[in-house]
Amino acid sequence: MGEGKNVSYAGNKTGVVLLTLAIALSGCFVLYIGFGKTPYSFVEVVRALFHVEADAGTRHVVWNLRLPRALIAVAAGAMLGTAGAMLQSILRNPLVEPGLMGSSAGAVLFAVLWLTFAAGSFAETVSLQLVALFGGVGATLLVLALNSRQSANRARFALIGVVTASILQSATSLLLLHRQQGLSSIFLWLFGSLNGRGWSSWSTLWPWALFGIGLALAYARKAEILQLGDDSAAGLGLAVNRTRFLMLAIASALTAASVSVVGAIGFIGLIGPHVAGWFVGRRPTALFPTSALFSALLLLASDWVGQSAAIRLPLPGMEHYVASLPVGAVTTLLGAPFFLYLLRRSL
């Protein structure tokens, strides 16, 4: 009886947290759209979104410039947060983040290869995204191939993922030394940026977000069984190695798809699951959706901070960019101290 009450309380608490995050994300979403060189009030944004008594100029800015960027920030944040929560649950390592599986490094390497050697210099945005996605998924498949299903243990996955990512990052550095032109645009993308992202980028991202996060939530119950330990999970009839393999593939695909659109944004997949866990615990059925919502809110707020800093501070060399710092720089400033805090706690 007491156990049933505890489960009911945990479910109610998770529901309250999810509802609170959804309301906060909705409010921040509207405020984000209203922020910029030409600010709009909350009411003006809502009117423009619903085509109610809004002038053509406001509708153009809201619908064609700010709305797709906001949607991409939410989707990418949710994808990285979900991927991070999955990896931490599967590998039972609180310091794991999505870049571990090499998908971020693979996407970056293939994007730089495309920008360096593709005919006509810079290709269309969608082409770059598809190439980066191919690289991220390819790197993930390489890491998974180096881990046979029969030997899919946590330490092996982590070690091979780190080594693979390091090799890919070294190759990217060599390519950047080779390239002489367009480095500023590449570095802005490598940091992770939402600048210039529009509806074409959104059309590339949303199917991966919807399908990938949906699969992650569907596997949350199996992730809970995995947390009991391999022997206990196998005793309950779960195909441990196959389930872990598939969940790692889902997490890596989410990461690669996000990187292919917004670049390598770090630490969202580390911070999101931890903060979510403080409120709802580490049960995957509660952690995965909470981490997705909080990470979406975190990335949206981080890009808001980046835009605010670029508009208000005279930054040398940034005049020719859109008025926004790379969001990856903001998340790194937040995430690096957070990682050190977690590392110190784990020692």
Query: What is the homologous superfamily of the domain 12-311+322-342 according to CATH?
Result: ABC transporter involved in vitamin B12 uptake, BtuC (1.10.3470.10)
**pTM for the predicted model, two decimal places:** 0.87
Q: Give pLDDT tens digits for 21-64.
A: 999 999 999 999 998 778 898 889 988 888 777 788 888 899 99
CB-based contact 161:292 (threshold 8 Å): no
What gap in Å lies between CA 240 and CA 223, rounded to an integer? Answer: 10
Count Cβ neighbours within 10 Å for each residue of 110-145 and write b for 16 or more, e otherwise. Answer: bbbbbbbeeeeeeeeeeebbbbbbbbbbbbbbbbbe
**Would you state the pLDDT for residue 150?**
47
Cα radius of gyration rounded to whole Å, the chain: 21
Handedness of CA 175, 181, 187, 193 (dihedral sign): negative
**Would you state the pLDDT for residue 301?**
96
Q: Is 37 helix (H, G, I), strand (E, B) or coil?
A: coil
What gap in Å lies between CA 127 and CA 204, rounded to an integer? Answer: 10
Residues of the chain falling short of pLDDT 50: 1, 121-122, 125, 150-151, 318-322
**Would you state the pLDDT for residue 180?**
59
What gap in Å lies between CA 80 and CA 82, rounded to an integer? Answer: 5
